[in-house]
Structure 1
Amino acid sequence: MGFRLSPEAREAGHRLHAHDTLGSTNTEALAQAQGSETGLLWIAAHRQSEGRGRRGAAWFSPEGNLAASLLYPVAGVAPEHVATLGFVAGLALVSALDDVAASCARPPPQGGATGEVFRLKWPNDVLAHGEKLAGILLEGAGKRAVVIGFGVNVLAAPDGLPYAATSLAALGCDADAADVLAALSCRFVEAARIWNKGRGFSNVRQRWLQRAAGIGAPVTVRLPDRTLHGLHDGIDEGGRLMILAPDGQTHTVTAGEVHFGGAATAA
């Protein structure tokens, strides 16, 4: 099935450029931003040959998985609020995956105290039963826009990673990438409306915490100059990870390699 946006996204002014093959949907969105394009523009590809994650890591993206990026305008948004779009994206993606899973012929078995399969791992991952299912990558596109990249393991998950990974197919869900994009475009409109150019981040934060993985569990964060150990204490009003250390002190982390539970993915 061909890629499509939801009616809600089209009504909100979102547009879609669909491709058979791209090196990277983020790279294409950045190239669009170098011209006169400011968004709201989705770039999607059936195959992505040079996908990337944070810190330049390669992102496995064969045909059948979702590789999509949204060029999102941020003119007039305070700089400190722009980075919180990652939490908007995470909230939208986990909600979209809920929608997709619910419509599958064999929905994934439910789990967890709230009965939800999909969980958010700070700052940019979605886990399913503790295994990595999706990642999000934000990249600046000048002062006018940000590129938000989404990679979702729909049909296949990579092998040989230092952490466990899964796919919707492995969970028993028969959705395709087009279904995920349609649901994601709808949920992004909803989440962005709550965010309200950063003014509503406290509401996004509350919703994000409700779906966060590992709250209250042991966490280790490797920083360039030290390693922090403690309990995952949520995120603060700036989106920074909070760690409650054994001595009772709370540390806040802007970026680092995060490990907890059985899902040791690089953040």
Structure 2
Amino acid sequence: MSLERPDYRLGPAARAAGHRLHVYESLGSTNTRAMELSREGERGPLWVVALRQEAGRGRRGSAWTSLPGNLSASLLWPVSDVDPEQVPSLGFVAGVALISALKRTIGPRHLEAAGMAPQDGIEDRTSGRASPFRLKWPNDVLASGAKLAGLLLEAETHPGGRRSAVIGFGVNVAASPQDLPYPATSLSQIKHEPRAEDLFDHLSDEIVVAARRWNRGRGFSSIRELWLDDAAGIGAPVSVRTGGEIVQGIFETIDEAGRLVVRSDDGTRRTVTAGEVHLGSAATAA
């Protein structure tokens, strides 16, 4: 059931751009519901938010645990006028927007009070202050090296040729899952009593800004530069398990197609389209 909830609201830029919002008490998956609406004729841009998400999904069919007080949101985006080869780059748009929204939500005062240091010493490009938030290729957000958020991009072609994409955002706001095979964290460890509603307000605006820069894929070079500004592990060891192969080397960059570029010891370069990524000391142990 869709609810009218004044605590979840679109930011002013999102409202001005004609975005809309559906909030549900409970859903299996916000991505699934958004795509169902698209199949029923909804064109978007439309946000779907769930106060409780019972069957969240990550990449490659993995489960995403959403605890009370965390953000579970998906954005239905029309892509019929986007080159199909550019649709995957929406994932980088989402990452850039989420990093900006996190910085706005937390603010420099809370970062300093928490004594948090950036993972790799890069300063926040907008404030000149150190930021703990980093983008891990292809679809994670880290805070001081621990997983804070995951992104999930799905696309579908409907009868008649209409195409749509759904961008899912799962952010550990109030709490992070325990007993995971990797370190995880939440915004509550940075800011006292953070609210998923406030993060969503900023995120809804930042996705508008990033999407305009992206310009249906024609501006991906600009998005790529912003993504690299906040990337985790640039210039450090990386290990990528892709299929039955492990690619190891130095994380050099992402290319104009969004692929990971790995430089091996002999100077040769490999590009990776998808895979399980380990950075830094985890890469050498992988």
Q: TM-score range by the shorter chain?
A: over 0.9
In structure 2, distance between residues paired with 1:123 and 1:236: 12
TM-score by length of 1: 0.95
**Which 5+ residue runs of structure 1 have no aligned equivalent?**
none
Return the offset for 1:80. Answer: 0.9
Q: 1:176 aligns with which of 167, 172, 195?
A: 195
- Which whole-Å CA distance do the structure 1 matches of 2:245 and 2:208 have between them? 39
In the alignment, which residue of structure 2 is the partner of 1:160? 179
1:59 deviates by 0.5
* Residue of structure 2 equivalent to 1:247: 266
Q: Which residue of 1 aligns with 2:122?
A: 113
Residue 6 of structure 1 aligns with which residue? 11
Calculate the aligned-residue CA RMSD, in Å. Answer: 1.5
Cα distance between partner residues in 1 of 2:281 and 2:71: 25
Report the CA distance shift for 1:105/1:237 in structure 2 as closer, same or farther (over 3 A): closer
Report the structure, 1 or 2, having the larger helix content: 2
Separation of aligned partners in 2, 1:262 and 1:47: 35
Partner of 1:216 in structure 2?
Answer: 235
Q: How does 1:67-216 map to 2 (within 5 A)?
A: 67-102=72-107, 108=114, 109-111=116-118, 112-114=121-123, 115-142=130-157, 143-216=162-235
Q: How many residues align?
A: 264
Find the residue that maps to 2:142 and give its secondary structure.
strand
Q: 1:255, 1:171 → 2: CA distance?
A: 31
Q: How big is the shift at 1:172?
A: 3.3
Question: Which residue of structure 2 lines up, in the alignment, with residue 46 of structure 1?
Answer: 51
How far the C-alpha of 1:76 sits from its partner, in A, is 1.2
How far off its partner does 1:144 sit?
A: 2.1
Q: Secondary structure at the match of 2:187?
A: coil
Partner in structure 2 of residue 33 of structure 1:
38
Match of 1:15 in 2: 20
Normalised to the residue count of structure 2, the TM-score between the two structures is 0.89
Letter in structure 1 aligned against 2:70: N
In 1, distance between residues paired with 2:147 and 2:281? Answer: 10
Distance in 2 of aligned mates of 1:193 and 1:221: 32
* 1:103 CA displacement: 7.5
> CA distance change for structure 1 residues 129 and 105 in 2, over 3 Å: closer, same or farther?
closer
Shift of the 226–58 alpha-carbon distance from structure 1 to 2, 3 Å rule, reads same
Distance in 2 of aligned mates of 1:121 and 1:173: 25
Deviant stretches of 4+, over 6 Å: none
Partner Cα separation in structure 1 for residue 233 and residue 28 of structure 2: 34
Deviates more, 1:87-96 or 1:112-121: 112-121
In 1, Cα distance between equivalents of 2:165 and 2:223 = 18
C-alpha displacement of 1:145: 1.0
Deviation (angstroms), 1:62: 1.7
Cα 1:213–1:103 change in 2 (3 A) is closer
Over the matched positions of the two proteins, sequence identity in percent amounts to 55
Amino acid in structure 2 at the alignment position of 1:256: G
2:52·2:66 contact (CA, 8 Å) conserved in 1?
Answer: yes
* Conserved 8 A contact 1:220-1:228: yes
1:104 Cα shift?
7.2
Unaligned 5+ residue runs, structure 2?
1-5, 124-129
User: What displacement does 1:132 show?
Assistant: 0.3
Tell whether the 8 Å contact from 1:130 to 1:262 is kept in structure 2 after alignment.
no
Give the secondary-structure state (helix, strand or coil) at the position aligned to 1:184. Answer: helix
What is the SS of the residue equivalent to 2:103? Answer: helix
Residue equivalent to 2:127: none
In 2: Cα distance, 1:235 partner to 1:217 partner: 14
Using a 3 Å threshold, how does the CA distance of structure 1 residues 263 and 195 change in structure 2: closer, same or farther? farther
SS at match of 1:179: helix
CA distance in 1, matches of 2:255, 2:17: 30
